Structure 1
Amino acid sequence: MATPAPATVRTPEHEAQLDTPATSSSIVSMDKPVNSHSSKLESLTNIETRTDLSLLYRLLRTCMRPFRPKLVSFKKTWPEGSPRLTKRPSSQYGVQIKERKVQVPSPPHQPLPQADAATNTQSLWVYNFDAPRSAKDVHRDGAKRETSKTIYYFAGGGFQAPASGEHWKLCARLAKDLSADGVRLVLVSYPLSPKSPAKDSLPFLRAWLELALKIANENSRGDEQVILMGDSAGGNVVISLAFWWAEQLASLKRELEGRDLRLESVKARELESMQRLRSVIVMSPPTDFRNINEEIAEADKLDPIMTRDLTDGAAATWTKDWPMTDGRDPKSDPTLSPNLQTPEAWKALRESGLAVHGLNGTADVLSPDCKVFMQLCQKEMIRGEWLVWEGQMHCFPLVVCYGLMEGKEGFSWLCRRVRES
């Protein structure tokens, strides 16, 4: 079956970036890198391409396609703010799923759009996946292995639906398989459109991320890492947060440049906290809400799950009322469509040392733009690993719970990225 040709970058010209990428630091020192980067002028983005498809998957894809896009429906409108997910499993694969409520304070002089007026905070529901401890989780001296990495997972759902059954199972599998590596997983129930579009959700999630990184730093023995992971719409949210974080980190470093950090204890701790974020991992994210890539039409013929009209509708609900001062369509704002990010934003991301990993299948209407984003990461010298699977469907690691080869391979790929982060 024919698959779309590699996407062509159709974004504004970016400045050539040939300098050696700088890195972030896990301690207060401004000159000690977290990650070792090659000094050679070569791509830091490694791309793996696969073309093998199992017979079972080929049959499944054929059977699914007549029902699209009914397989993706948004039957319920969720209230504003973080939805509490009461209809969820209490455990999966022996992993206990525990609900937790986080109170996120409004940043100074920037009240959150949907914050409680009395407390100036907004609630976020998160779900901890607590994997059982095993012999592998104990060091030779008998001490329990400490958590060294926390994954915050953002589930896809067209920005309008929370985690599905497949999401709970995937997260439980990740938590179980990675627990021996000192990894824990937390699913974030982020606010959904149309009641909480991007203009309300993103400021809230930025404030939450600052809080999460601060807590990680306070609870750390020195090596605590934070990883943001998301699929589909959740992947878009993760990328948006990553660019915002990189710009905040760059601004903070400029502010502290040349200062004695021993005399800047508050800012020094803030820098330490910000540098806890080490990588993002995304699956089939939408990266350009304009949906104008010429190759989308061909991908639409192959996609067994979604349609171009469906993704157009999801983009419209998420970008609704996004503030634009120049009269342009909100879908063209780089904060929402990362393919359109500025050279300055890419520079901040590169110099942060953050790793950006991703995967996508080409039988997906989001694939052409996702490949543009991948190519931009490669061009802009962003460190990361990418998997492009020709003929594969949207967010294929989610089908690991059904035993498909492609789901198992995608799941294993995710685990490797976490372990290597």
Structure 2
Amino acid sequence: MASKPADYVTGTDGTSSIIVDHRTSHSLPSSAIQSILKPFGNIILKAGKPLPAGSPQLKPYHSSSRKVHIEETRILDTYIYVFTNTADSTSKSPALLDAKEPVKRKLYYFAGGGFRGAPTDQHWSLCAELSTQLPQYSINLVSYPLAPNSPAHHAIPQLEKLYDEMIVQAQAEGSRVTLMGDSAGGNIVIVLGIYGATRWLASGAEGVYPLQNVFAICPAADLRHEHADILAKETKDPVLSKKIIQGVANGWKGDWELADPRVSPALADLSVFKRAGIKVDGMTAGYDCLGPEGVAFREQLAKEGVRGEWLDWERQMHCFILMFQYKFSEPAAAKDWMLGVLRRNAEMS
């Protein structure tokens, strides 16, 4: 697979803080699916029936090929779906057989969907894959409040309470936490990471903060969507356009301004991640209208000296990793890259 060597982006303190793996391969199947999707972008992203206010109860998508058990539970007033690997040792992959003894790690996944759509089968499948491949982690899919009945000014306060309780539980269990999300979910995990880091630093607490890292896949980092390169990306993006992402942003912000850091986390003080010892990992794609903002966010993290590992794949579409289950080479490779990052994070103290 053609790829460029990793590019080390240097932070302001003179250390290498963000490692960027730039890749350029663009297989024929990948090109074909982008061409097929292009005429149907508006249909694919058409909003369905609005979900009720608050955390919607979900019906798990269960693939017979995934040997996982999904249990519905709640933290405060938010539904959480816990994935458990039920495969016995004879069916485990070599990666699992070689894995170290599991450690206490909790990964909370926030699925994308334009801040208004429930997780798709692709999200359930990705969480199932994480569960089967990462015995070091407990995988939890979060059903967070969605627009239009729960826009940001309603949803974020509920999610801040959820986050506080997750941290309390982690402290009681002696576990570490990873927040992961794609697209809109990537926005939310960044917002919550900043919220948690800021509160931790203000408290003057000592020791290791339970939130170890945030992982943002093709995040919507700046909902103002003013980046000059968005229109250029629009000609290549098979599903998103500037009009679409602006509509999504306006539907989510509610009573808040788009420049509010609780809506556009790229405008927040990102130095809190470094000061709280939180790693920020992520992924961007070259044929993604949100890509320029994701790259700008990553570069700002580097300026602040925040540690992280990022995959930047040219000529790939928004959240291309979610197509790994269809055996496309680039999504499968991106999924394996992500697993590698999470395994390395689990080896850290």
**TM-score (norm: length of structure 2):** 0.89
Give the Cα–Cα distance (whole angstroms) in 2 for the partners of residues 146 and 390 of structure 1: 35
Q: Report the CA distance between 1:48 and its aligned residue.
A: 1.3
Give the Cα–Cα distance (whole angstroms) in 2 for the partners of residues 165 and 149 of structure 1: 24
What's the counterpart of residue 190 of structure 1? 144
Is the alpha carbon distance of 1:125 and 1:90 closer, same or farther for their aligned partners in structure 2, counting shifts above 3 Å? farther
- Look up the equivalent residue of 2:165 and give its one-letter code: L
Alignment RMSD (CA, Å)? 1.9
What's the counterpart of residue 195 of structure 2? 244
CA contact (8 A) 2:106 2:140 kept: yes
Is the alpha carbon distance of 1:212 and 1:91 closer, same or farther for their aligned partners in structure 2, counting shifts above 3 Å? farther
Give the Cα–Cα distance (whole angstroms) in 2 for the partners of residues 125 and 202 of structure 1: 15
CA contact (8 A) 1:229 1:280 kept: yes
Q: Report the CA distance between 1:347 and its aligned residue.
A: 2.5
- Look up the equivalent residue of 1:186 and give its one-letter code: N
Q: Report the CA distance between 1:385 and its aligned residue.
A: 0.6
- Look up the equivalent residue of 2:249 and give its one-letter code: A
CA contact (8 A) 1:92 1:172 kept: no
Q: Report the CA distance between 1:370 and its aligned residue.
A: 0.8
Alignment of 1:385-404 (within 5 A): 385-404=309-328
Gaps spanning 5+ residues in structure 2: where?
A: 1-10, 94-99
Runs of 4+ deviating beyond 6 Å: none
What's the counterpart of residue 414 of structure 1? 338
What's the counterpart of residue 65 of structure 1? 38
Q: Cα deviations across residues 262-303 of structure 1 (Å, max 9, x unaligned)?
A: xxxxxxxxx66x811100111101111111111100100000
Alignment of 1:8-407 (within 5 A): 18-19=12-13, 41-86=14-59, 88-89=61-62, 93-103=66-76, 123-132=77-86, 134-135=88-89, 145-179=101-135, 182-220=136-174, 224-253=175-204, 275-322=209-256, 330-341=257-268, 345-407=269-331
Give the Cα–Cα distance (whole angstroms) in 1 for the partners of residues 47 and 40 of structure 2: 15
CA contact (8 A) 1:92 1:168 kept: no
- Which SS does the other structure have where 2:287 is aligned? coil
Report the structure, 1 or 2, having the larger strand content.
2
Give the Cα–Cα distance (whole angstroms) in 1 for the partners of residues 167 and 322 of structure 2: 27
- Look up the equivalent residue of 2:30 and give its one-letter code: Y
- Look up the equivalent residue of 2:85 and give its one-letter code: A
- Which SS does the other structure have where 1:386 is aligned? strand
Q: Report the CA distance between 1:219 and its aligned residue.
A: 2.1
Give the Cα–Cα distance (whole angstroms) in 2 for the partners of residues 56 and 132 of structure 1: 33
What's the counterpart of residue 8 of structure 2? none
Q: Report the CA distance between 1:230 and its aligned residue.
A: 0.2
Give the Cα–Cα distance (whole angstroms) in 1 for the partners of residues 273 and 188 of structure 2: 16
CA contact (8 A) 1:91 1:97 kept: no
**TM-score (norm: length of structure 1):** 0.74
Q: Report the CA distance between 1:131 and its aligned residue.
A: 0.4
Aligned length: 327
- Look up the equivalent residue of 1:252 and give its one-letter code: S
Give the Cα–Cα distance (whole angstroms) in 2 for the partners of residues 377 and 79 of structure 1: 36
Is the alpha carbon distance of 1:359 and 1:87 closer, same or farther for their aligned partners in structure 2, counting shifts above 3 Å? closer
Q: Percent identity?
A: 33
Q: Report the CA distance between 1:18 and its aligned residue.
A: 4.4
Give the Cα–Cα distance (whole angstroms) in 1 for the partners of residues 248 and 335 of structure 2: 26
Give the Cα–Cα distance (whole angstroms) in 1 for the partners of residues 66 and 199 of structure 2: 39
Q: Report the CA distance between 1:389 and its aligned residue.
A: 0.5
Give the Cα–Cα distance (whole angstroms) in 2 for the partners of residues 55 and 146 of structure 1: 39
- Look up the equivalent residue of 1:285 and give its one-letter code: P
Is the alpha carbon distance of 1:352 and 1:91 closer, same or farther for their aligned partners in structure 2, counting shifts above 3 Å? farther
Q: Report the CA distance between 1:146 and its aligned residue.
A: 4.7
